[in-house]
Chain A
């Protein structure tokens, strides 16, 4: 498929085009935060609070208002994009790699090793994932990297199952048999013939999984056990200000909207990629 027809395909689907634009926007915010943010994200400004110390609603000076410490919300959201994307890419990248490794090894070496790995995967599907993530994040000293690893630990399971199924069906195909008959070793078959076929799966789950990851990070941070303030994350902005949400609802709704828009965009683009790679699944699950 040529880049031109791909672009025309996107242009025919306005929702998808919008989703792509949001993703590009979030990446731009993360990369260019110091240039785009009107204020420093942790600058507690004197004129950022009302005379009786309340956060300010959106105005010309502070486009999205200020938070309970007089910091500019827009600037914190722009820097928060860094946190969300960093965790999204690192945590989900790790999860996809763990999942693919487990799935491919279990699918290719279907003997004892494969059996043990898949039983372990089955076991993990019976684990209450959110609870596990909350327990781990709460009991470990919270930091950005810990949160990323916790999310990776609970999110690899689905990729492992898909990788397993695809590897099993690939391993039984004739061209693998022919390759083996010609004397190729396991390593060569895995790296030259199995893994390349799994690249589309990795791309689809690398995109869809970012949505799950962004949401999980937001949930952990909302509970106060994710990324720790003053480092801004969309979840911990809500955590810091939720007791003010009646008097300062913008402090909940703008970060909430950022999370929703980002997660939704990655889900929509991931779904479109899945259709592109496997047209028989179009419009289905």
Chain B
């Protein structure tokens, strides 16, 4: 177990290093020049050159990359071009908002998904089952901005139940969290349904029925726990997805998370922040998968033994 963990962590570190390298090359190979942007419209070539020198952009690319990695290993993500402050605290300050939205979104997905998925599996080929199978595709076929604007139109602009945008109170969280949750729920329902159909067909479930255990208890206590593994894996994936993947939702609702920070930085070609957010997102993707793998043996002891 410890050995496995050590190997996975080493892999994770290597993957992050690779992501850093590719992002670095991409960002600095692009035509957008942050020095020109910072210098402003009427800057002389001398000013631009000075700024370039200040930011270290005049050094050879391999030297810049080496410096970046050395700082990275010390936990230093560099300094923002625009805001003149360190990147790491900027990202840390956005983390609570993003993690709150992530947790709420995943909670909604799982609650709706589990309910619909279990019903669909129990009433296989029934009306709800067919509805769930189609709805699961609606979720992955709908642009986030459409749901976000629809919810805003109905529940904020028309009914006035929730604020249009902002952050701070639970009321602010409802619409952005439901935007993520509604869209993801269909796929959770699909996964739960598929796993439940497998489990419900197994001998021990038939035995439980034969012993006279109430049907609801068989489904919820005997079968459901064994169908949770794919859900855990999916939650692991979503932890990675929602770290930076909520850009659109954060932009529409003015939610001050990592996605919004990234979106502002992209518009200002603030490369250190873009690098930082990319790395933190990649870290979330790797950790989300790792977490799912680590939790799996506790849910299913067979994995621990094997």
Contact = CB atoms under 8 A, between A and B. Distances in A.
B146 A260 contact: yes
Nearest to A124: B22
Given A131-B245, A222-B248, 18 more contacts: A123-B15, A126-B282, A127-B278, A128-B243, A128-B245, A131-B277, A134-B266, A135-B274, A138-B266, A139-B30, A215-B143, A223-B247, A223-B251, A242-B149, A245-B149, A246-B157, A252-B149, A285-B194
Nearest to B129: A283
A123 B18 contact: yes
30 contacts: A123-B19, A123-B22, A126-B15, A126-B18, A126-B285, A126-B286, A128-B282, A131-B278, A138-B266, A139-B27, A139-B32, A141-B31, A211-B140, A211-B141, A215-B141, A218-B145, A222-B143, A223-B247, A238-B145, A238-B149, A245-B149, A245-B152, A252-B149, A252-B153, A253-B146, A256-B146, A259-B143, A260-B141, A260-B143, A283-B133
Nearest 3 Cβ contacts at the A-B interface: A256-B146, A128-B281, A263-B141
Contacts of A253: 146, 150
Given A131-B245, A264-B137, A271-B137, A219 B194 contact: no
Contacts of B142: 259-260, 263-264
B79 interface: no
Residue from B134, B141, B157 whose CB has the most chain A CB atoms within 10 Å: B141
Contacts of B18: 123, 126
B155 interface: no
A128 B138 contact: no
Nearest to A15: B134
B133 A134 contact: no
Contacts of B137: 264, 267-268, 271
B138 A260 contact: yes
Interface of A: 15, 122-123, 125-128, 130-132, 134-136, 138-141, 211, 215, 218-219, 222-223, 235, 238, 242, 245-246, 249, 252-253, 256, 259-260, 263-264, 267-268, 271, 283-285
A211 B277 CA distance: 27
A158 B282 CA distance: 17
Main secondary structure of the interface of B (DSSP, over half): helix
Contacts of B106: none
B31 A140 contact: yes
Interface in B165-213: 190-191, 194
Interface string B221-257: 0000000000000000000100111011001000000
A267 B141 contact: yes
Contact of B153 (A127, A131, A135, A245): A245
Contacts of A218: 143, 145
